[in-house]
Amino acid sequence: MTAATTPGSREVLGPPEIARALIRIAHEILERARGADDLVLLGIPTRGLPLARRLAATIGQVEGVDPEPLVGALDVTMYRDDLRRHPTRTIGATSLPDRGIDDKLVVLVDDVLFSGRTIRAAMDALADLGRPRAVQLAVLVDRGHRELPIRADYVGKNLPTSREETVAVRLAETDGVDSVRIEAR
């Protein structure tokens, strides 16, 4: 049975809606940052990184700059507070733009904001890498149920969910298709 035919599963964002949300977020980031001069987008793997690259591509197009120096990857695996519960995790790569993050506006990019624990881990990882001027958060989906006092500055879609549901984000770069689905557990 595919995700499209799974009982209790429904698509809430398809490719056009995801594209529009990312374009809107890119413009909001540029407006608040007043340009891309001191901007760094750090994608949290797995799906935050392709989202950061898409945002950078849009920002690069709007500002007429090369998007590559705007993007980096921030692996938060070793900063998670649940390593004792789930000790076997693949450690990913952290890569910062050549100009670093010191005195830059860093926008953390992730696919789903849920409890806030991944973002807390990202903040800890970031502190070990440098001292940004400011840190903001962009997410494709905010599903609520925060356990920590963390909120996103830029949100593609707010999706109120129950704890018995999951939000499944699929992206062309990692999954071959762009889709956001709410699924029953």
The predicted-structure confidence for 47-83, as pLDDT tens digits, reads as follows 999 999 999 999 999 999 999 999 999 999 999 887 6
Q: Is the pLDDT at 1 greater than 70, yes or no? A: no
Contacts 24+ apart (CB under 8 A), 27-35: 27/58, 27/62, 28/154, 29/55, 29/59, 29/107, 29/136, 29/138, 29/154, 30/59, 30/62, 30/63, 32/136, 32/153, 33/105, 35/63
Q: Where are the domains of the chain?
A: 14-163
Question: pLDDT band at 87, cuts 50/70/90?
Answer: low
For the cut 50, the answer to whether the pLDDT of residue 177 exceeds it is yes
DSSP one-letter code for 183: E
Mean pLDDT of 100-109: 98
Residue 6 pLDDT level (bands cut at 50, 70, 90)? low
Question: What confidence score (pLDDT) does residue 3 get?
Answer: 45
Are 111 and 119 contacting, i.e. CB atoms less than 8 angstroms apart? no
Provide the pLDDT for residue 89.
65
Mean pLDDT, rounded, for 36-47:
97
pLDDT for 88 equals: 65
Mean pLDDT, the chain, rounded, equals 93
Would you report the helix, strand and coil content of the chain in percent, each value rounded to 5? 30, 25, 45
Q: What is the pLDDT of residues 135-169, one digit of tens each?
A: 999 999 999 999 999 999 999 999 999 999 999 99
CATH for the stretch 14-163:
3.40.50.2020
pLDDT at 5 over 80: no
Q: What's this model's pTM, rounded to 2 decimal places?
A: 0.93
Question: What's the rounded mean pLDDT across residues 88-92?
Answer: 74
Q: What integer pLDDT is reported at residue 82 of this predicted model?
A: 77
